Amino acid sequence: MARTAQKNSVKGIRGPKKAAQSSYNGVALPTDMAERRRMRNKLSAKVHREKKKDVLESAKMEVVACDKELNQLKSELNEMRTKAIALQGIFESIEAKFGAEAVKNIFKKFGDVDVPMSVVDTYYPLPSA
């Protein structure tokens, strides 16, 4: 008996034929095959257009978010530049009053600040002996 079942599966005996789909994406399809194909194609194109529209909207929203972040970063950069110019003025006045060595000592005292001494030497060189 097991052998008969095995032979039938080997020969490719299939179950009953499936009836053609009567709906596609929730829309009833006509019985005419050509009309059915056109309707499926039309519905598929509609789905594709909607997906494309969603992707485009998503990309536009991402661009808006990136523009917002870029403007924020530009604002922060301008703020930092203003602070740097103000600090440079303060250090120039210290240098004028106390000399370049005083400025270097300030930077050495606050050594945890990320300003390499080569930068300090560039802006505040010690006078030649």
Whether 113 and 87 have beta carbons less than 8 Å apart is answered as no
- Region 56-80: mean pLDDT is 95
pLDDT of residue 14: 57
pLDDT of residue 56: 97
* Token digits of residue 93: 């006045």
Query: Looking at the predicted structure, is the pLDDT value of residue 50 above 90?
Result: yes
pLDDT of residue 18: 46
Query: Looking at the predicted structure, is the pLDDT value of residue 87 above 80?
Result: yes
CA atoms within 13 A on the CB side of 68: 6
CA–CA dist 21, 43 (Å, integer): 14
For the chain, the average pLDDT equals 77
Query: Looking at the predicted structure, is the pLDDT value of residue 70 above 90?
Result: yes
Query: Looking at the predicted structure, is the pLDDT value of residue 119 above 90?
Result: no
Phi, psi of 23 (to 5 degrees): -145, 155
pLDDT tens-digit series, residues 20-45: 567 777 777 777 788 878 888 988 99
Query: Crossing angle of helices 100-109/33-98, nearest 10°?
Result: 130
Q: Which residue has the higher pLDDT, 44 or 122?
A: 44
Query: Looking at the predicted structure, is the pLDDT value of residue 88 above 70?
Result: yes
Helix boundaries (H) for the chain: 2-11, 33-98, 100-109, 117-123
pLDDT of residue 63: 97
